[in-house]
Structure formats: structure tokens, C-alpha cells
Amino acid sequence: MITRGLAAFDLDPRRKIPGERPLWLYKRGVARVAANRPADARANLDTALATSPVEWVRGRIHLELGKLALKAGNKAGGNAELRASIPLADSDNDPLTSEEARRLLK
């Protein structure tokens, strides 16, 4: 469903809200993390991060990248991503993200 939404988004000629495409990519990345599709999730999250997301989305992307790294056994990489998410989430009033990142830090 999200993939269809992204395809429609790309074809829609109307002006877009700044950061809208990275938000769609983040949401598809989250769905793919939940579906245990780490390579696809990583690709979506990396692309979202490279396409100028707003700060709270950037924080959430780092949180998901941290989860992926931890699942893959990369503790150092996971912790680095989680640490990166905390100040972004805190600065943009997203306490749920920063709390989850702090809880997951190992």
C-alpha cells in the first residue's frame, strides 16, 4: 500500500510539502523493518535520510537504523544510530523517539 502511495506521489504534479517524500520513505522503511526485510528497509531509510527530512523524521530514521543494526548484531553501529536519534528527537519535541532510543542503548 505504501509503495502504491509513493508511486502516486511521484506522479502527482502538485507542489509537495517540504519533507513529504522522506516521510513516505521512512514509513515504508518502518513497515519493512517490521516485516523482517532488513535490506529493503535499509534502502528506504538511507534514501529518506539523503532527501532532506524534517528533524523529527530524521530522528526516527536514525532510531530505525539503530534497530536494524542491533538486529544484525552490530552493537556499535546500532548504538551510534540510537545516539544520533536522541538530540534530533529532543530538539523537535518527539519524546517517544528519544525515550525508545535511550531504552534500546546497550
* Structural domains present in the chain: 2-104 (1.25.40.10)
Highest mean pLDDT pick, 4-13, 18-27, 82-91: 82-91
Instruction: Report pLDDT digits (tens) over 34-75.
Output: 999 999 999 999 999 999 999 999 999 999 999 999 999 999
Q: What is the pLDDT of residue 7?
A: 65
Report pLDDT for 75.
97
Helix/strand/coil for 105: coil
Tell me how far apart the alpha carbons of residues 64 and 54 are, in angstroms, rounded to a whole number.
16
**Residue 90 pLDDT exceeds 80:** yes
Query: How is residue 19 annotated by DSSP?
Result: T
Question: Of 16-20, 21-25, 55-59, 71-75, which range is least confident?
Answer: 16-20
Cβ-based neighbour number of residue 86 at 10 Å:
20
- In this prediction, residue 92 has a pLDDT band, given cuts at 50, 70 and 90, of very high
